[in-house]
Amino acid sequence: MTEQSASLTASIWNELGGDRALLESLRFDGDGDLPSVFRVTDLASASVAAASLAIAELVTLCSGALPRVHIDRRVASFWFGLSIRPAGWSLPAPWDPIAGDYASSDGWIRLHTNAPHHRAAAERVLGKHADRGAMSAAVGRWTKTALEAAIVDAGGCAAEMRSVTEWQTHPQGVALAAEPLARLTVTDPGPTPNWKLEPARPLAGIRVLDLTRVLAGPIASRFLAGYGANVLRIDPPDWNEPSVVPEVTLGKRCARLDLRLANDRTRFHALLASADVLLHGYRADALERLGFDAASRARLNPGLVDVSLNAYGWAGPWRNRRGFDSLVQMSAGIADAGMRRKMAERPIPLPVQALDHATGYLMAAAAVRGVARRLSDARGSRAQFALARTARLLVEQGDQPSSSSVARETEADLAAGVERTPWGEARRLSPPVSIDGTPMRWDSPAAELGSSEPVWP
C-alpha cells in the first residue's frame, strides 16, 4: 500500500518539476483503502504528499536543512471527504434535490444543478419539475447525447456516462491524452521579493488571491493557509455554496466583488497587482472576457505565481466547458467502470470527490514551488491543471486490488481544541501531514462568504 503511494508521489513530483532527492525525506504509513475499484487512497496520499514536499522544499530554501515529511494514508483518506465535525449543528445538504444520475432512453446522464443558474438551464430544456420522479420521466424521453448537448448549449451542466474506451476515443479525450498533468510555464521576473519566510511558518506574509469556488481551488488555498499564507477569497455578490463553505474557508478572509462594475474592477485590479499568488478556477476563456488574460496579468504583476484549473483540459473542443468532479467522473469512464466492475444497475462514482481534492493539492504544490522559484531567481510562473487530467492519472493507476477498508474514525483522529465558526462550534480532523518543525495549523476559523472587505490586511 505505502509502496504504491510512494510510487505515485514520485510520478506526480516529477511532473511538477521537483527534485527527486527530496523524495528521500518522505514516508507513509496507514493501512487500508477507501472502498473503490480505483486507487483513491493512493491518489489522496500522493497528492497530499506532493504539496507537502513543496513545503519541505521551501523550508529547505529558508533553513538549509531538509525536514522529514510523514503522510498518514488513512487520515489523508478522511480529508478527501470532510474535515469538519459540527457540534450541535449540521451542514446543509450537499446536493440540489434535482441533481443526480438519470436514465435516458439509451443510457445514463448526470445533471448538476447545485447553482441556481445551472438548475434554470436544465429546466429550460426539460421543464420545471418538483421532484426526481417527474424529472426522471422528462429525461427518459431524450437520448443521453442529445440531452447533454442541449443542457450545455443552454448554459447548464450535464454529462452522459461514457466508458473509459469511449472517452479515450472522444475528441476531448484524445486532446487530453496529449496534455501533461501540470502545464508549467516560467514567466518574466518581477521585483526581488522582500519576504522573510521562517521554517516554522514558511508562507507567512505571502498574499494569495483566491478566485476559486467548489471545490479544488478552495482546497488548494486551505492548504496554503495552513502554512501561514494570507488568503483573500473573492466571490461574486450572489454566489453561495452553504454546504461547502464551513469546510473550505478555514484560515481565510472572504470578500465579494462584482467584476462587471467599474469600481469593483478597480479594487480587483489593485488586489491583483499586489498579490504574490493567484488561484483561479474560471473556464479557460472567462478571465480573458473580463480583460484579465494571462498576458495582462503578467504585465500588471511581473513575477506573479499564477495557478489555475478547469474541468476538461486546456486544449480540445471542451476546453471552455463548464464541469465539476461528478460530471468528469461520468465523462471519463470512472462511473461506468465502477458500475461494470461492481455489476451494479446504475453508475458507481468514487466514494469521495477525489478529482477535486487531488487537483487542489496539486495546485497547492505548484503554488508553493512557484514561491520557491520567485525566491530563487525572481521569476514568475504559471501552472494549469484540469480535473479530467487528474481523472486520467487515477485511471492509469489500474484497479484497486482487494484490501481492507480504512479503519473507522476515532476521537484520536481529531485535532485538539474547538473551532468557533459562525455556524457553531466544531472540531477538525488532525492534519494528514507532519513536517518536522513546520506544523500545519490555521490562524482563524472558517468564515462566511462576504464577511470581510476586499483589501489586504
Give the rounded percent of residues in the chain with a pLDDT score beyond 70.
Answer: 100
- Burial label for 309, CB within 10 Å (0-12, 13-18, 19+), is buried
Confidence class for position 322, pLDDT limits 50, 70, 90: very high
* CA-to-CA separations, 226 to 11, 89, 294, in angstroms, rounded: 25, 24, 28
pLDDT digits (tens, 9 = 90+) for 60-87: 999 999 999 999 999 999 999 999 999 9
pLDDT digits (tens, 9 = 90+) for 155-166: 999 999 999 999
Residue 160 within a domain: no
| pLDDT for position 288 | 83
- For 190-217, b/e burial (b = at least 16 CB within 10 A) is beeeeeebebeebbebbbbbbbbbbbbb
Residue 394 pLDDT > 90: yes
Average pLDDT over residues 281-291: 81
Helix-, strand-, coil-residue percentages of the chain, each rounded to 5: 40, 20, 40
| pLDDT for position 284 | 67
- State the alpha helices, DSSP H only, in 282-429: 286-289, 294-300, 325-331, 334-341, 354-377, 387-396
pLDDT digits (tens, 9 = 90+) for 420-446: 999 999 999 999 999 999 999 999 999
User: What's the 3-state SS for 11-66?
Assistant: HHHHHCCCCHHHHHHEEEECCCECCCCECHHHHHHHHHHHHHHHHHHHHHHHHCCC
Average pLDDT over residues 106-121: 96
| pLDDT for position 404 | 85
How many C-beta atoms lie closer than 10 Å to residue 23's C-beta? 16
3-state secondary structure of 189: strand
Average pLDDT taken over every residue of the chain: 96
Residue 346 within a domain: no
Dihedrals φ, ψ of 158, to 5°?
-155, 155
Residue 85 within a domain: yes
Average pLDDT over residues 393-398: 97
Inter-residue contact 32 to 406 (CB < 8 Å): yes
Question: pTM value?
Answer: 0.97
Unique residue bearing C-alpha cell 518574466 = 188
Residue 131 within a domain: no
CA distance 26 to 56: 10
Residue 363 within a domain: yes
Residue 131 pLDDT > 90: no
Residue 360 pLDDT > 70: yes
Domain CATH code at residue 207: 3.40.50.10540
In this structure, the strands spanning 207-211 and 230-235 are: parallel
Q: Which domain holds residue 242?
A: 2-91+177-313+351-435
| pLDDT for position 392 | 98
Lowest mean per-residue pLDDT among 36-40, 258-262, 384-388: 258-262
Inter-residue contact 50 to 9 (CB < 8 Å): yes
Q: How many domains does the chain have?
A: 1
pLDDT digits (tens, 9 = 90+) for 345-359: 999 999 999 999 999
Task: Of 413, 419, 408, give the one whose Cα is nearest residue 442.
Answer: 419
Give the rounded percent of residues in the chain with a pLDDT score beyond 90.
Answer: 95
CA distance 381 to 180: 16
Task: Pull the grid cell for residue 444.
Answer: 482563524
Average pLDDT over residues 229-253: 97
Average pLDDT over residues 120-125: 97
Task: Of 75, 309, 53, give the one whose Cα is nearest residue 202.
Answer: 53
Confidence class for position 41, pLDDT limits 50, 70, 90: very high
Residue 1 pLDDT > 70: no
Residue 40 within a domain: yes
Residue 440 within a domain: no
| pLDDT for position 286 | 78
| pLDDT for position 262 | 93
Inter-residue contact 235 to 254 (CB < 8 Å): yes
| pLDDT for position 256 | 98
Residue 182 within a domain: yes
Q: What is the DSSP string of 196-211?
A: --BTTBTTTT-EEEEE
